[in-house]
């Protein structure tokens, strides 16, 4: 068990550029979450996958944001036409959901990707 990994750890980009982040969850975990954390705040939920299906998206996730989990394993989060307000730490978490929708509340977090938009 190597834990949740995220790549890159840091990304600096210019306003208007597109960026993509990757998250590799704990291998047997079927649930994957993306959160965003701005300075001085707690993480805020962005979106959630059960296997490859994206089941929930926050209103924080504007049309410029898209997330995928194509084979129910790793996930990518893309931000198009970045804005300075997108500067934040993007955290990925995974959990194991059981049959019937039970379980899965213990989420394990990755180290995050810190995005700076200049």
Contacts of 93 (CB under 8 A, 6+ apart): 4, 32, 33, 35, 107, 108, 109, 110
Q: How far is the CB of 81 from other proteins (least distance, A)?
A: 26
How many other β-carbons are positioned within 10 Å of the β-carbon of residue 57?
15
Contact 48, 69 (CB under 8 A): no
Q: Is 70 in the site for other proteins (CB under 8 A)?
A: no
Distance between CA atoms of 24 and 43, rounded to whole angstroms? 19
For the bound state, the minimum distance from the C-beta of residue 16 to other proteins, rounded and expressed in Å, comes to 26
Candidates 12, 55, 60, 118; binder of other proteins (CB under 8 A) is 55
CB of 35 to other proteins, least distance (A): 8
Residues that bind other proteins (CB under 8 A): 4, 6, 31, 33, 35, 40-45, 48, 55-56, 91, 93, 95, 97, 100-112, 114
């Amino acid at each position: 068990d190597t834990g949740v990994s995220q790549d890159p750890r840091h990304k600096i980009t210019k306003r208007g550029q597109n960026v993509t982040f990757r998250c590799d969850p704990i291998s047997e975990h079927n649930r994957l979450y993306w959160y965003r954390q701005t300075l001085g705040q707690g993480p805020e939920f962005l979106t959630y996958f059960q296997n490859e299906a994206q089941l929930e998206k926050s209103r924080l996730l504007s049309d410029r944001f898209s997330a995928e989990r194509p084979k129910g394993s790793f996930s990518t989060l893309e931000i198009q036409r970045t804005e300075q307000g997108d500067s934040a730490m993007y955290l990925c978490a995974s959990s194991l959901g059981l049959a019937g929708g039970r379980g899965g509340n213990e989420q394990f977090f990755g180290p995050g990707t810190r995005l700076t938009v200049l």
